Structure 1
Amino acid sequence: MAIILFGGIGKRLGSKIPKQFLKIRDRYLMEYTIEKFYSLRTVDKVLVVSNKNWMKKTREILKDKNIEIIEGGNSREESTYKALKYISNFAESDDIILIHDGVRPFVSERIINENISLARKFGAVITVVPSENTMVISRDGRKLDAVPKRDLLYIVQTPQSFKFGLIYNAFKKEEKNLSYYTDDASILKAQGMEIYFVEGSKLNIKITTKEDLIIAEQLCSMQF
């Protein structure tokens, strides 16, 4: 099952509407992302988590698809937890749950299927790509404090995928501390769980800025 998170408001993009409702080549960005999961036989159900102020618009766009839609929370992790609690009514402990950023519309079938396969094997996986750039650490944002070895650094993408029992129990244990975390795997890692890698792709971009939208327009015109 795929949980697709659409809780953003487009602040960094400078848009008056959330990014998922922007159109790229006459289709909503939301539609591109959902279709990647909805069309796969390996994904049996799609749950969309929507910004609470945009539920009506989300339902309107997805009215022709057999997709469940719930209201999100005030943060990414709160939204994920609401989704996990919702599916706890019918999910089995070993069911594979994929959690994906809704504004990553170019995730590939290969990445999705490898997430499912490796999550079945290991229980918890994240999608990553190696960092090609040198990264630095600065404690005050003004001067360089350290330069970590580049071959140790990876950029995290989504999906992040887990056996349902593992991720749901982890969230329940950290329910009062969710604001400390910025992604789902870190909650499991804090409890000592091993997290394995799925190879991501440079094309699996997150639409965050106006420059990203320009790239998205070009990607939509390509066949890949």
Structure 2
Amino acid sequence: MITALIFAGGTGQRMNSASKPKQFLELHGKPIIIYTIEHFEWHPEIDNIIVVCLESWIKELKRFLKLYDIRKVSKIIAGGISGDQSIYNGLKAMRGTHASDDIVLIHDGVRPLINENLISENIATAKRCGNAITCEATFESIIQSSNGNEIDNIPKRSEMFVAKAPQTFRYGDIWDMYQQAENDGHTPLDSAHLCSLYGVKQHIVRSTPNNIKITAPQDYYIFRALHEAMENRQILGV
């Protein structure tokens, strides 16, 4: 089985939106989270979708799933107090229904600018190598500083990448790591960081362009502009 685990349990404090969480902000009347889910709904290799959602918005999410004819979502799980806790809750909900070798793609609910090919590359790489981490090459120099005031190191730009999503694993491997982190008191930034904490070799899949995470108001406007540009290219050929 191949499952997309989409986590959208945050309140979006950096978005400064008092009316609704960032994942439910709408473009052309459709919430961001639905744009994200549709990539996995339409992908022929995805068998199942599990969404981790802010508990008070689960009822609203169910309404949108019905409205947009989303049929692959099998479970909606209440989110945790942080992103890593939400992922843990989602992985825990898969126990008993997923085998150790099943593939799980972990993806941000507010990262809607992906495509079918990126999902396919993640699945193929995880099947072949055990995991797949979507990454984007950096185009500017990365500064390393331990105190925020002085530069400790500037690594070679050609060796620097930014971790994106999806991040894809065999279910048994990633579930064991999150359980271990829970026991050890680790709070990973994301699943790739968790692998790094435990010395797991990770395999890069090159990201699609503009694979942004919608976190702050400017991200929403970038998403809107990019989405409209893609629509114009498809409809008008411009």
TM range (shorter): over 0.9
What is the aligned partner in structure 2 of residue 186 from structure 1?
193
Match of 1:45 in 2: 48
CA distance 1:52–1:178, change in 2 (3 Å): farther
Query: 1:21-170 residue pairs with structure 2 within 5 A?
Result: 21-63=24-66, 64-66=69-71, 67=73, 68-170=75-177
> Unaligned stretches of 5+ in structure 1?
none
Once the 2 structures are TM-superposed, how far is the Cα of residue 161 of structure 1 from its aligned partner? 0.1
Counterpart selection for 2:12 from 10, 13, 36: 10
Q: Hey, what does 1:208 align to over in structure 2?
A: 215
* Equivalent pair of 1:25/1:220 in contact (CA under 8 Å): no
Conserved 8 A contact 2:136-2:163: yes
Paired amino acid for 1:145: D
Percentage of identical aligned residues: 36
Q: For 2:215, what is the secondary structure of its paired residue?
A: coil
**Is the Cα contact below 8 Å between 1:25 and 1:217 reproduced in 2?**
no
Kindly state the Cα deviation for residue 102 of structure 1 after the two structures are TM-superposed: 0.5
* Mapped contact 1:129–1:156 kept (Cα < 8 A): yes
Quick one: distance in 1 between partners of 2:144 and 2:111? 27
Task: Name the structure 2 match of 1:171.
Answer: 178
What letter corresponds to residue 5 of structure 1 in structure 2?
Answer: F
Length, aligned pairs only: 224
The residue type equivalent to 2:14 in the other structure is: R
Cα pair distance change 1:25/1:179, threshold 3 Å: farther
**2:136 touches 2:207 (CA, 8 Å); kept in 1?**
yes
Further displaced range: 7-16 or 98-107: 7-16
Deviations 1:18-69 (A, max 9, x none): 1111111221111100001011111000111001222222222223433121
Distance 2:60 2:185 in 1: 28
Aligned counterparts of 2:227 and 2:208: Cα–Cα separation in 1: 16
Structure 2: unaligned runs, 5 residues or longer: none
Is the 1:108–1:204 Cα contact (8 Å) retained in structure 2? no
TM-score normalised over the length of structure 1:
0.94
Letter in 2 for 1:30: I
Alpha-carbon RMSD across the aligned residues, in angstroms, is: 1.5
**Distance apart, 1:109 and its partner CA:** 0.7
CA positional deviation for 1:218: 1.5
Question: C-alpha separation between the residues in 2 aligned to 1:155 and 1:201?
Answer: 12
